[in-house]
A and B are shown apart, each in its own frame.
Chain A
């Protein structure tokens, strides 16, 4: 973590009182800014809350939101919800894995993409659903996955 990041973290922490009940909100905010929970950040949070790092990792590893490794610049998330499952989510995931050359939960070596799944987005009426960064794409098919990435890449290069 460089000085700027340390400064950012100190600023985040300045909005909290330092009580243990604030751990989860703090970790969510740290992750919101850094994309994951960097080791140095956990150290700083530990001393701020007067807790051991071990305790923080025990909480962070319990909840599915927290990640201890950096995230790709682009997050591709396939919904594993029930409606999505019976309308073909497994095939979507397989296609996304093929196109990105990543397995579920993996991040590409160049940190360009992370492929992940979520238990449910709550967009079940549009099942099956996948999300690229913040954009939700409903009524997907494996064919559409390929097209989506093709247009996505064009857009990126054009930008």
Chain B
């Protein structure tokens, strides 16, 4: 392998770090010095490369050589491979699960080749702790363009034209929210980035913050300029210490470079961002609850009729609240234009969607695809299908607010409206694949156990409804289900949906309603035959004594 101008990228996402990526990085550093390659080889730490399951990952560019599950013992061999006569270390390549064929370059691996990494373009390719890396790939150019060449109204028009919809779950058109916030009369306004990724089974916001924190900051600063705010907050989960650390570093560096603070780029626009660590409450995904939480109160959604946060939010001032990925899209839209953005996706869902693809699927990780790709393409082409020759049963999107979709819906387009029509939702981007060994009643019970714990308790349909639904589901999984249980679940589900005060309760029944709709036979087997077809529910498994 020629050794001129090589860069070795070592992924330092949470997934790879848990596999020892920090040690790999330091071993590689000394390995490269020992092999006398210090002058010709650069070694860089990056954020999440996406294929967390195969981590720790090491990538060598420009060839794109992709090493998986790298251990400290492998490092000297990798260093040797970088010598002029060196050969790549084949045993560390990704092997195609179907054919066992080694694939040396990440660009040829279907997990990557079928994706369109737009928002994630920098994740895995730049050092998230070094602003120079972000600047080198055009970072903060969009901010410069917005502040120096565009009026705030023009920025909002661009966001509206792009068709970008909020990527936190509900999919409200981002531009309209920005416009409402701009129009709300007030001296003081705020921008909040919702990074309280509360859905279990989702890590895409965490990965964006860890891998490309400046793109989030840049989007927020542009938003502040557009709506007329001078202060921004990032509301981030306390369970994400690495994201908090990288955001802190990014904020400090952005201040030093004059992208945050007073008179940004001599435009007379002032803006600063501070981090607010959430203390753990799923309901704080609801905007009025999140705002109360920053004010130091219990994060309970405000009663109806609720003021719109865009008009009366944090400390009763107009507040723009968007998700991490929504902000990360903004610099791209401003830099490349609305048309460029809208060229991807479907008629009503523009751009790309980022998913945490996990569960019973061969390739687990962080993926980005154009809106409108089918579930089948995501699960089989990118995800590599179901491992161990098992049969696909369902795919769950939208976390506790979403639903489980069966094999008959695999050819459905993945976009906001199709998912909602099918009884699920886009949510913040969790996508959990389930196979024949997953019990759908147990899954429904699992989600209701989550929502009943997370219900804030102020409205009765949600507080008592989720509890009752959980108890019925619990009985069914224990072999004590009654014939009327299914109808009772449907009736309760509708009541909780229509009677709850906020989206937590309004969507909590979705996992139950969709599993009954698409997997009713499994419920019936539990109730009438006292049998768990997937063999999950312990109380229904007869142990044979040999």
Chain A residues with a Cβ under 8 A of chain B: 20-25, 27-28, 58-59, 62-66, 80-83, 85-87, 118-127, 129, 135-138
Contacts and interface: CB of A to CB of B under 8 A. Distances in A.
25 contacts: A20-B295, A22-B296, A23-B296, A25-B277, A59-B298, A62-B300, A63-B278, A64-B280, A80-B450, A82-B358, A82-B359, A82-B432, A83-B358, A83-B359, A85-B446, A120-B239, A121-B239, A122-B14, A122-B356, A124-B203, A124-B430, A125-B53, A125-B364, A125-B365, A136-B18
Interface in B277-310: 277-282, 293-300
Interface range, B side:
35 or more
A-B interface, 7 closest residue pairs, ranked by CB to CB distance from nearest: A82-B201, A136-B18, A122-B203, A63-B279, A125-B52, A23-B296, A64-B280
A135 B18 contact: yes
A125 B15 CA distance: 8
Interface stretch (B139-147, B152-160, B192-200, B255-263): B192-200
Contacts of A122: 14, 197, 202-203, 206, 239-240, 356
Contacts, number: 137
A86 B52 contact: no
Given A80-B200, A118-B239, A135-B18, 17 more contacts: A21-B295, A23-B296, A24-B293, A24-B294, A62-B298, A81-B200, A82-B399, A82-B447, A83-B201, A83-B359, A87-B359, A120-B202, A121-B14, A122-B14, A124-B356, A125-B365, A126-B18
Contacts of A21: 294-296
Contacts of A20: 295-296
Contacts of B364: 83, 124-127
Nearest to B17: A136
A127 B197 CA distance: 18
Given A62-B299, A81-B200, A28 B432 contact: no
B124 interface: no
A59 B296 contact: yes
Given A119-B282, A124-B358, A126-B52, A81 B201 contact: yes
B360 interface: yes
B319 to A, nearest CB: 14
B396 interface: yes
Interface in B162-220: 197-203, 206
A129 B280 CA distance: 19
Contacts of B206: 122
Q: Mostly helix, strand, loop or mixed at chain A's interface?
A: mixed
Contact of A28 (B14, B18, B277, B396): B277
A86 B359 contact: yes
